[in-house]
A and B are shown apart, each in its own frame.
Chain A
């Protein structure tokens, strides 16, 4: 309630400055909103890619195999040690020099997926370690080979533990995905900037984009909460 009041007051103040062109906004809003579809699509595919990479990375990081451990550690260190924007540029602008030419959307998905995969590797590692040791022992005592212990007993419980963190990362990713507007993926921010610069209505355009990002995060936070509640069933 207080929020609505505050936002209303802010908009009113903006309107007083006489910079708000509501007519322009209603004309261009559909075009900008159209970018939200691309944003969501890119983020959904990226979070799936990131989750797969994170599970593999975490299992490798906890494995006794020195090579797997090194590969996974290097991946995490490399990705966490460089800016996301550099990674996006690298995949889209630098790879073609090596003969690998990627579509902008694909490049964006790869960059976001690899980037978040590295952060989520650490989350999954912690999640796997948070599964009580007795679970692993019980599975081993039933004669399960190591891959079954992991796949059937440890990982399903680890996933429950990390669901909230993955949700957070997905929401963060929705916002970070704005960076791929720099490689001309026609997502939310790209469209807002296009429309804004065309008519010198940057303020209006960015207001619309910001509002949509905000709405998206609120919607996904709600779904995340529900998912968490559902996953909590059967626990304790």
Chain B
């Protein structure tokens, strides 16, 4: 993180990987670290996309990652649950630690470790990725029954609870094709919650949505954030970040440039490149 070529990094503020300056008191609802990303590098061929990222996320914390497209923020998120195999570094989620090892990627024990991470980190996608051949309810109980081995009645009960949370209980028997984009994303959130993960990873959850459908998804996410769900969100919705984030992380060119409380990073950024990004973003 220290050896990047960006000129303004010499004067970087002394923030720790958790984003909180040492000595300051954490907001009272924030708990112990649950996600740790250490020295993560990712190459796609010769393309160096992540250049040493450290990130620590604490229980009940909502972390929003912002930055230009191509800054590596989506890759970072996908590396956390190993949908992309990182090249160098390590990821730890709720005590399960996996070191990057691209050569061992097909090893059975290694795959099982990755699966353990995935059980603890739910993922939401830009394109929702609901299973089109299953009803809303079946989407929600598929993994709990078949992966966690929950009895079907228990899984259904929980699924109904989480569908209620996202406000779509009346759609439980519909097929995804009959839902709007916003509804699909909310079902996807319910589906992820049914696995009761330790952290939710959101990969630009609203960027495939029509503008008028974005609000309903952000509202659900905001409720979750305020309700104490740990989440890491890659987003372009600055107002949402302002409202719902405990911490905003700004990435550029594969490194974390600065991070801190939203009012500081978004309103009073310490780095020129952050200010530049925000200015350009607001102009658009």
* A-to-B contact residues, CB < 8 Å: 64, 132, 134-135, 137-146, 148, 152-153, 156-157, 160, 233-236
Contact = CB atoms under 8 A, between A and B. Distances in A.
A32 to B, nearest CB: 43
A138 B125 contact: yes
Nearest to B123: A141
Given A141-B83, A152-B146, A234-B177, A135 B129 contact: yes
Interface in B20-70: none
5 contacts: A137-B129, A138-B131, A156-B133, A234-B132, A235-B133
Contacts, number: 70
A166 B125 CA distance: 33
Contacts of A140: 83, 118
A123 B82 CA distance: 30
B118 A234 contact: no
Contacts of B195: 142-143
Contacts of A146: 111
B115 A143 contact: yes
Given A143-B115, A152-B146, A134 B132 contact: no
Given A234-B132, A234-B177, A152 B142 contact: yes
B125 A157 contact: no
Given A137-B125, A234-B175, A143 B132 contact: no
Instruction: Give the one of B118, B132, B177, B188 with max A CB within 10 A.
Output: B132
Contact of A144 (B129, B147, B176, B192): B147
Contact of A157 (B119, B132, B142): B132
Contacts of A134: 125, 127, 129
A143 B147 contact: yes
Contacts of B132: 157, 234-236
Given A64-B106, A235-B177, A143 B129 contact: no
Contacts of A144: 143, 146-147
A153 B115 contact: no
B138 to A, nearest CB: 10
B83 A148 contact: no
B147 A148 contact: yes
Given A137-B83, A138-B123, 14 more contacts: A134-B125, A134-B129, A137-B129, A140-B83, A141-B81, A141-B125, A142-B192, A144-B143, A145-B115, A148-B147, A152-B146, A157-B131, A233-B175, A234-B133
A236 B123 CA distance: 22
Nearest to B133: A156
B122 interface: yes
Contacts of B146: 144, 148, 152
A157 B133 contact: yes
Nearest to A151: B146
B186 interface: no
A143 B195 CA distance: 9
B247 interface: no
B158 interface: no
A140 B142 CA distance: 12
A152 B143 CA distance: 10
